[in-house]
Amino acid sequence: MNANSETASPAIDAASDDALAPPASTAMRTGRTPWLIAAAMAVLLPLTLWQAAHWAEKAALQAVRDEGIKNLILYISNLESELEKYEYLPLILAEEKDIIQLLQHPRDDAHRAIANSALEKINAFAEASATYVMASDGTTLASSNWNTDKSFVGKNFKFRPYFQTAMRGKAGHYFALGTTSNKPGYYLSHPIHLEEGIFGVIVVKVSMERLERTWAQGPTQVIVTDANDVVFISSQEDWRFRTLRPLPPDEAEKIKATRQYHDAPLLPLPIRVKEELGGGDRVVTIAGIGEGPGRQPRSTDYLMQTTNVANITWNFHALSRVSEVAAAVYSAMAAAGLVFLIAFLGVLYLIQRRLRFRDRLAYQQQVADTLKTARDELEVRVSDRTADLHASNVHLRREIGERERTEKTLRQTQDELVQAGKLAVLGEITTGINHELNQPLGAIRSYADNARTYLDRDRAGEARENLVTISELTERMGATIARLKGFARKGTGDAEPVIIVRAVTNALDLLAARFRNDGIEVAADLPGDPLMVMGGSVRLEQVFVNLLSNAVDAMKDSARRVLSVRLEEALETLTVFVEDTGTGIAEDDAGRIFDPFFTTKDVGKGLGLGLSITYGIVKDFGGDITAANRPGGGAVFAVTLRRAEAAAEDRP
User: Between these two residues, 335 and 293, which has the higher pLDDT value?
Assistant: 335
What CATH homologous superfamily does 85-207 map to? PAS domain (3.30.450.20)
pLDDT value at position 367?
A: 80
Q: How far apart (Å, rounded) are the C-alpha atoms in residues 381 and 367?
A: 17
- The per-residue pLDDT for range 342-360, each reduced to its tens digit, is 887 887 788 878 878 888 8
Q: How far apart (Å, rounded) are the C-alpha atoms in residues 342 and 337?
A: 9
Q: What does pLDDT average to over the chain?
A: 77
Percent over 70 (pLDDT), the chain? 77
pLDDT value at position 7?
A: 45
User: Between these two residues, 548 and 455, which has the higher pLDDT value?
Assistant: 548
pLDDT over threshold 90, residue 532: yes
pLDDT value at position 636?
A: 95
pLDDT over threshold 50, residue 416: yes
Q: How far apart (Å, rounded) are the C-alpha atoms in residues 139 and 155?
A: 6
pLDDT value at position 624?
A: 94
pLDDT value at position 15?
A: 45
Amino acid in position 620 = D
Q: How far apart (Å, rounded) are the C-alpha atoms in residues 56 and 153?
A: 61
Domain 492-649 has CATH 3.30.70.270: no
pLDDT value at position 510?
A: 84
Q: How far apart (Å, rounded) are the C-alpha atoms in residues 144 and 115?
A: 9
pLDDT value at position 499?
A: 94
Q: Are strands 562-569 and 521-525 parallel, antiparallel or unpaired?
A: parallel
**Ordered DSSP codes for 254-282:** HHHHHTTTTT---PBP-EEEEEEEETTEE
User: CA 582 → CA 48, 554, 557, 558, 633, distances in Å?
Assistant: 52, 5, 8, 6, 7
pLDDT value at position 73?
A: 78
**Kind and range of the H or E run holding 319:** strand 315-321
pLDDT value at position 569?
A: 92
pLDDT over threshold 90, residue 574: yes
Lowest-pLDDT range, 41-55, 161-175, 391-405, 555-569? 41-55
Nearest alpha-carbon partner for 187 in 87, 79, 265? 87
Would the CA dihedral through 175, 179, 181, 182 be positive or negative? positive
Residues in the chain: 652
pLDDT over threshold 80, residue 278: no
pLDDT value at position 337?
A: 74
**Ordered DSSP codes for 431-466:** HHHHHHHHHHHHHHHHHHHHHHHHHHTT-HHHHHHH
pLDDT value at position 292?
A: 44
CB atoms within 10 A of CB 393: 10
426 alpha-carbon distance from chain centroid: 38
Tell me the average pLDDT across 420-445. Answer: 59
Q: How far apart (Å, rounded) are the C-alpha atoms in residues 133 and 139?
A: 9
Most confident of 56-70, 188-202, 482-496: 188-202
Q: How many alpha carbons lie under 13 Å from residue 527 in its C-beta half-sphere?
A: 12
Tell me the average pLDDT across 633-649. Answer: 83
284-314 in b/e burial notation, b at 16+ Cβ within 10 A?
bebeeeeeeeeeeeeeebbbbbbeeeeebeb
Q: Residues 6 or more apart from 591 whose CB is under 8 A from it?
A: none
Percent over 90 (pLDDT), the chain? 11
CB atoms within 10 A of CB 99: 22
Tell me the average pLDDT across 531-555. Answer: 89
pLDDT value at position 444?
A: 75
Helices (H), 308-374: 323-371
**Ordered DSSP codes for 152-189:** -TT-B-TTSHHHHHHHTTS-EEEEEE-TTT--EEEEEE
- The per-residue pLDDT for range 208-263, each reduced to its tens digit, is 777 777 777 777 778 888 777 888 788 777 787 788 788 888 887 877 777 777 77
Most confident of 94-98, 301-305, 600-604: 94-98
* Plot region of 521 (φ>0 → left; ψ -120 to 50 → alpha; else → beta): beta
Q: How far apart (Å, rounded) are the C-alpha atoms in residues 44 and 63?
A: 28
pLDDT value at position 1?
A: 46
User: CA 509 → CA 480, 560, 575, 597, distances in Å?
Assistant: 8, 22, 20, 28
User: CA 361 → CA 44, 353, 366, distances in Å?
Assistant: 32, 12, 9
Q: How far apart (Å, rounded) are the C-alpha atoms in residues 417 and 424?
A: 10
pLDDT over threshold 90, residue 568: yes
Q: How far apart (Å, rounded) are the C-alpha atoms in residues 289 and 221?
A: 15
Identify the DSSP state of 236: S
User: Between these two residues, 289 and 123, which has the higher pLDDT value?
Assistant: 123
pLDDT over threshold 60, residue 652: no
Helix 430-456 × helix 460-488 angle, to 10°: 160
Helix 2-19 × helix 375-428 angle, to 10°: 80
User: Between these two residues, 573 and 488, which has the higher pLDDT value?
Assistant: 573
Q: How far apart (Å, rounded) are the C-alpha atoms in residues 83 and 298?
A: 35
pLDDT value at position 418?
A: 59
Considering the domain 210-321 in this protein, what is its CATH number?
3.30.450.20
